[in-house]
Structure 1
């Protein structure tokens, strides 16, 4: 994330947030597809997994802010 040097605070938050966002976005597409194709609806759990997208976005944003603050203090 930072060119192979020592880890900066917030890097892990960005990574975890990105993974959660991708999982939530894929789940969002997977839950909308049956509605558009006329198939049966997916169970409630599938719709709840879509909530990982905004959670992941928030975590990644928090990680970027923590990382920027740490770099600002270091310089």
Structure 2
């Protein structure tokens, strides 16, 4: 939604935002990648915990 708000003036002929607004808009993709990496890491940790809980102990 924020990306649409940022680029809307370009298509609607309104006053454009300062260049820094477009730079920040480009960083949103990086944020999605970081969030996705966190989700995948959390899944891996949960799988490891579930696997260790179901394996019989070798002691």
Asked whether the two chains share a fold, i.e. TM above 0.5, the reply is yes
TM-score normalised over the length of structure 1: 0.58
Match of 2:42 in 1: 67
Count of matched residue positions in the alignment of Structure 1 and Structure 2: 50
* Greater relative contact order (Cα < 8 A, sep 6+): 1
Q: Distance in 1 between matches of 2:49 and 2:24?
A: 38
In the TM superposition, residue 40 of structure 1 has moved relative to its aligned partner by 2.1
Alpha-carbon offset, residue 52 of structure 1? 2.5
Q: Secondary structure at the match of 2:30?
A: helix
Q: Which runs of 5+ in 2 are unaligned?
A: 51-59
Match of 2:30 among 52, 55, 62: 55
Q: TM-score, normalised by structure 2?
A: 0.71
The separation in 1 between residues aligned to 2:5 and 2:18, in whole angstroms, is: 11
Runs of 5+ consecutive residues of structure 1 not aligned to the other structure: 1-24
Moved over 4 A (4+): none
